[in-house]
Chain A
Amino acid sequence: MTNPSTKKGNDISIVLCGQAGQGIQTVEKIFTRIMKSNGYHVYATKEYMSRVRGGLNSILIRISDKPVKAFVDRIDILVGLNKGSIKHLKNRVTSETLIIGEKEVLSDEIEDKQKVFDIPFTEIASGVGNKVFSNTVAVGALISILSVKPEDAINCLKQIFKDKPKELIDKNIEALKAGYETTVKLENFYSVKIESPASGSVKKQILVNGSEAVGLGAIAGGCNFISSYPMSPSTSVLVFLAQKGKDFGVLAEQAEDEISAINMAIGAWYAGARAMVTTSGGGFALMTEGVSLAGMLESPIVIHLAQRPGPATGLPTRTEQGDLDLVLYAGHGEFPRIIFAPGTLEDAFYLTQKAFNLADKFQVPVFILTDQYFVDSYYNTEPFNLKECKVEKHFIETSEDYQRYKLTENEISPRGIPGLGKGLVCADSDEHDEEGHITEDLELRIKMVDKRLGKLDLIKQESVPPVLLGPENYENLVICWGSTFNIICEAVNYLGRKDTAVLYFNQVYPLHDGAIELIKKAKKTIVVENNAAAQFARLLKIHADVKVDHNVLKYDGLCFASDSIAEELNELL
């Protein structure tokens, strides 16, 4: 079987491999933007080691005339900047892979039949003036292979570096040209021309990654407060809101620990701000008492959790969907919550935006569950449409007889905030009466529990239904949630079977009622998840009473690859 998109000429996968701190990310940044501005669809993701210098990291870039949004194992072109690059990727490099690098550096690893372009990046860069330009030399080599005109690339480079000193821009241009010219002059040079660059619309699309989509969604949701503690891979959202949020009046504070972070954010909501925290598994474990506090106070809170493999410190820079159970059950006591798991950039934006409104409306914790793969992956997508966005503020101006926990018909007590109105806002983590004062009236206790839990039914009425893709009369259903969606989608599309559909959940709790019917309709169901214990399959069993037939699981710290998973699925179907 061939891979989903091996047809050379319209979908090229390029892998850059180098040490941490060596600048492969600069190559990625420049190259993807050049390709996009030339009308191609681009996708990029990285896998990296938990270290600041050294080690070996790699970046996958896909260039295509059709939208590409998924990881593939296949490598058409490998740019090996460091010794060990080929070895690092040995399971993915084949005799079809074109290897670009300095022969001297890679000589020990190159096998007989492998195609190699020997391009002395460092030497060329030194000729331009400094070894640091070898990244730009590599970009020059790549554009020559992909038949991009150097002038187009240079224009783009000028844009990217527009704030840099002129001398630096000139040197980079020189390096790009040198890389280009050396490569085209190679004796065995060949180029790949992607048939027709996609329509001009790609140029107008935006290129963002998962954490930027979450961050932009937060601003669109009216977020004006974030308190968090750094932890990979969740920190990028804190960084984004600290940098870009400044212009939007977002107060971004690095707390002393995650316990402080969530308590501060809940305090901010109490006073009327719209607050969020961003964290990863270990940090979230520390926040769980705070989640329970939000449950009891009936406080809104938005929690972005970017998962990485655990337990404990686990694999800090790798990916996994291993914290679904944690998020589902976090916090002592019984109270409702909402869990979103975006699998596309659009979903990350709109669901994060929506999270703030729902948190405020239902006075519950709302989770955005992503993972390292998701936050670090880019592709071009339509600019997010703000017409669909609205900040719905659900707090009220209080009157003198205001009661924070008033028992109402629909379980929701209007939320006042201190200083707005004549009433007093009394929020209490003890079991409380309608006013908010400690109580041990056990009959009232029952009413308060019913009121808190009763909100779940209201929340469910607004649950986002799962997305069904493929034939309506399916026999097989491949079920996925969160970040695996685009990968599974590409794999199933590639298989092109008329009997198989994909069911994608971007809200994993509470489940939309319609989900059950869609799943039960299938003769065979397969749940694909990036964890070892099939947590979502278990959730389906417990909360929808459906048992799936097969679990496809992956827990080596890496995401699925659409080409490999296609083969695996094909065997199960």
Chain B
Amino acid sequence: MKNEKYDMGDIDIAWCPGCGNFGILNALKQAMEELKIEPTNLVLVSGIGQAAKIPHYLKTNFFNGLHGRALPPATGIKASNPSLTVIAESGDGDMYGEGGNHFIHTIRRNPNITNIVHDNMVYGLTKGQASPTSRRGFVTPVQVAGVILEPFNPLAVAIALNAGFVARTFIGDKEQTIEIIKQAINYKGYALVDILQPCVTFNKLNTYQWFKDNTYYLEDSYDCHDRNAAFKRATESDKLPLGIFYINPEKTPFEENTGVYKQNDTPLYSREVDYGKLESLISKYALV
């Protein structure tokens, strides 16, 4: 299927040939087409990194901000205009390293946004240093004797924080990735999709083949509403499960909880100041 609505035509893409980012770009475009979301109604928010360049490669509104800081502006955008579809998308270094604090607290805040993370277990743009999800022993120009830190486990952290939608896919399986992105966007609240993706230039350990050999699908009988089971599955590390780990259908998104849209569902940009009300507030300061 051609994704014309989102297609940029002939553009110069700064990714290496064979990079997993291409698959994610296509999956994203297709998911958007299938969901019939208009480019003018979509905002793609990213940070900095190879993955974070993705908004430049499809037709959409975008906010390509700072390294590690995709989630706060995504929250600000969604909270200011809830009718927009907002996706925050970056690499694992950006989301889990530099932006780790925002990752934790955005889950707690629960804006209705989708958080897509290109997880290649390495820093691509800065040329091959360890990322938070790098495996122990991974040798890099900086981690010369191999990574000695415990790898960050985004799924377990998200489930521990009771994130409403938590999933992992492998870009080697495009169909599942598209399907899960669609479900994540349809979920009303914060949704995490961690996408395993090889970096063909700087990660010679976690290759396409490695991901194939070291992943498996959560079985059909798996109950994604059982948080404890989800947590258990998320902590498995010999082979990494793929699929939707956890869904909590009972959460209310941040922007609804703020109360700003209770009596008025218009976006903030269209609102006017009630000067009459302000005048009476000011005059109260004249009273004793």
The residue in B59, B72, B104 that gathers the most chain A C-beta atoms within 10 A of its C-beta is B72
Enumerate chain B residues within 8 angstroms of A423, measured Cβ to Cβ. Answer: 40
Using A33-B288, A256-B102 as known contacts, say yes or no to A273 and B61 having CB atoms under 8 A apart: no
Q: A248-B278, A251-B258, A389-B275 are in contact. Are A268 and B79 (CB under 8 A)?
A: yes
A94 sits at the interface (CB 8 A)? no
1/0 contact string of B252-288 vs chain A (CB within 8 Å): 0000001110001001111111110111011101111
Nearest chain A CB to B25 CB, angstrom units:
15
Does B156 have its Cβ within 8 Å of any Cβ on chain A?
Answer: no
Q: Flag if B77 contacts A256 (CB, 8 Å).
A: no
Contact with B along A266-297 (1 / 0, CB 8 A): 11111111110000000000000110010001
Task: Pick from B65, B104, B287 the residue with the most CB of A within 10 Å.
Answer: B65
The count of A-to-B residue pairs whose CB atoms sit within 8 angstroms is 209
For chain B, the count of residues having a C-beta within 8 Å of the partner chain is 60
Interchain CB contact under 8 A, B281 and A256 = no
CB neighbors of B among A180-235 (8 A): 203-208, 212, 216, 219-220, 222, 224-225, 227
**Interface: B80 (CB within 8 A):** yes
* A549 at the binding interface (Cβ < 8 Å): no
Is residue B41 contacting chain A, with contact meaning CB distance below 8 A? yes
Verify A429–B66 contact, CB threshold 8 A: yes
In the complex the two chains form, is A212's CB within 8 Å of B285's CB? yes
Chain A residues lying within 8 Å of B61, measured Cβ to Cβ, are 418-419, 424-426
Which chain A positions have C-beta within 8 A of B268?
224-225, 249, 251, 268, 271-274
Report A-chain residues with C-beta under 8 Å of the C-beta of B270: 272
CB of A417 within 8 Å of the partner chain: yes
Known: A263-B65, A264-B76. A253 touches B286 (CB 8 A): no
Interface assignment of A111: CB less than 8 Å from any CB of chain B: no
Task: Select from chain A the residue with minimum beta-carbon distance to B60.
Answer: A424
At the interface with chain A, which of B28-36, B48-56, B234-242? B48-56
B259 touches A246 (CB 8 A): yes
The answer to whether B158 has its CB under 8 Å from any CB of chain A is no
User: For the complex, is B84 an interface residue (Cβ under 8 Å from A)?
Assistant: yes
Q: B68 → chain A, closest Cβ, in Å?
A: 8
- Interface residue? A386 (CB, 8 A): yes
Residue of A nearest to B43 (CB): A418
Contact string against A for B residues 200-219, beta-carbon threshold 8 Å, 1 for contact and 0 otherwise: 00000000000000000000
Is B231 at the interface (CB under 8 A from chain A)? no
Cα distance, A437 to B259, chains bound together (Å):
36
Given the interface pairs A389-B275, A428-B64, the reply to whether A271 lies near B269 with Cβ below 8 Å is yes
CB 8 Å contact bits of A244-257 with B (1 = contact, 0 = none): 10111111010111
Q: Which residue of A lies closest to B255 (CB)?
A: A251
| Shortest Cβ distance from B41 into A: residue | A419
Q: Check B72 against A203 for contact (C-beta < 8 Å).
A: no
The distance from the CB of A395 to the nearest CB of chain B, in whole angstroms, is: 7
Q: Which residues of B contact A395 (CB under 8 A)?
A: 269
Summarize A's interface: helix, strand, loop or mixed.
mixed
Given contacts A267-B45, A438-B56, contact A272 B267 (CB under 8 A): yes
- In the bound complex, how far is the Cα of B288 from the Cα of A37, in angstroms? 7
- Whether the Cβ atoms of A259 and B258 lie closer than 8 Å is no
Q: A263-B73, A424-B39 are in contact. Are A437 and B56 (CB under 8 A)?
A: yes
In this assembly, does B63 line the interface, its C-beta being within 8 Å of a C-beta of chain A?
yes
Chain B residues with CB under 8 Å of A207's CB are 285-286
A256-B105, A395-B269 given as contacts; is B64 within 8 A of A206 (CB)? no
Contact B101 A257 (CB under 8 A): yes
> In this complex, which of A212, A267, A419 has the most chain B Cβ atoms within 10 angstroms of its Cβ?
A267
Determine the distance from Cα of A261 to Cα of B84 in the docked complex, in whole angstroms: 21
Q: In chain B, what residue has the closest Cβ to A203?
A: B286
What separation, in Å, do the CA atoms of A255 and B274 have in the docked complex? 27
Min CB distance A201 to B, Å, is: 11
A272 to B271 alpha-carbon distance, docked (Å): 10
For residue B169, CB closer than 8 A to chain A, the reply is no
Tell me the A362-381 residues at the B interface (CB within 8 Å): none
Contact B64 A264 (CB under 8 A): no
Within 8 A of B (CB), among A158-174: 159-160
Query: In the complex, which residues of chain B have a beta carbon less than 8 angstroms from the beta carbon of A425?
Result: 61-62
- Per the bound structure, the CA–CA distance linking A173 and B66 in Å amounts to 59
Instruction: Write the chain A residue with the least CB distance to B287.
Output: A159
**A220 to B73, Cβ gap below 8 A?**
no
**B49–chain A nearest beta-carbon distance, Å:** 12
Query: Across the interface, do B102 and A248 meet the contact criterion of CB distance under 8 Å?
Result: no
**Which residues of B have CB within 8 Å of A569?**
none
Knowing A159-B288, A256-B102, A418-B40 touch, does A225 contact B80 (C-beta < 8 A)? yes
B83: Cβ under 8 A from any A Cβ: yes
Distance in angstroms from B3 CB to nearest chain A CB is: 16
Q: How far, in angstroms, from A203 to B288 measured CA to CA in the complex?
A: 9
In Å, the complex CA distance between A436 and B56 comes to 9
Q: Which residue of B lies closest to A32 (CB)?
A: B288
Give the docked Cα–Cα distance between A255 and B73 (Å).
12
In Å, the complex CA distance between A391 and B272 comes to 8
Contact B275 A251 (CB under 8 A): no
Complex contacts, B63 vs chain A, CB 8 Å: 267, 270, 297, 427
Judge whether B69 is part of the interface by a CB distance below 8 angstroms.
Answer: yes
B24 interfacial by beta-carbon distance below 8 Å:
no
Contact between chains at B273 and A248 (CB < 8 Å): yes
Docked-complex contact A271 and B81, CB < 8 angstroms: yes
* A389, A391, A423, A424: residue with the most chain B Cβ atoms closer than 10 Å: A424
Query: How far does the alpha carbon of A275 sit from the alpha carbon of B77 in the complex, in Å?
Result: 11
Are A386 and B275 also in contact (CB < 8 A) when A37-B288, A263-B65, A395-B269 are?
yes
Query: CB of B90 within 8 A of chain A?
Result: no
**Separation of A264 and B76 alpha carbons in the complex (Å):** 5
Q: How far is the CA of A30 from the CA of B278 in the complex (A)?
A: 24
Is B75 positioned at the interface, with any CB of A under 8 Å from its CB?
yes
Are A260 and B269 in contact, with the CB atoms below 8 A? no
B46 to chain A, nearest CB (A): 10
Instruction: State in angstroms the CA–CA spacing of A271 and B268 once bound together.
Output: 8
B-side contacts of A472, CB under 8 Å: none
Can you name 29 A-B residue pairings with CB atoms under 8 Å?
Answer: A206-B286, A207-B286, A222-B273, A247-B277, A247-B281, A249-B260, A251-B80, A256-B104, A257-B101, A259-B69, A259-B72, A260-B101, A266-B73, A267-B63, A267-B72, A267-B77, A267-B80, A268-B268, A271-B80, A271-B269, A275-B76, A290-B66, A297-B65, A389-B275, A393-B269, A419-B83, A424-B62, A427-B64, A436-B62
7 closest A-B pairs by beta carbon, nearest first, are A272-B269, A267-B73, A267-B76, A256-B105, A263-B72, A206-B285, A418-B61
- State the B residues within 8 Å of A (CB): 14, 39-41, 43, 45, 48, 53, 55-56, 59-66, 69, 71-81, 83-84, 101-102, 104-105, 109, 258-260, 264, 267-275, 277-279, 281-283, 285-288
**Chain A contact residues, CB within 8 Å of chain B:** 33-34, 36-37, 156, 159-160, 203-208, 212, 216, 219-220, 222, 224-225, 227, 244, 246-251, 253, 255-257, 259-261, 263-275, 289-290, 293, 297, 383-384, 386, 389, 391, 393, 395, 417-430, 436-438
If A259-B102, A260-B72, A263-B65 are given as contacts, then 5 extra A-B residue pairs at C-beta distance below 8 Å, sorted by A number, are A37-B288, A247-B274, A269-B76, A389-B275, A391-B273
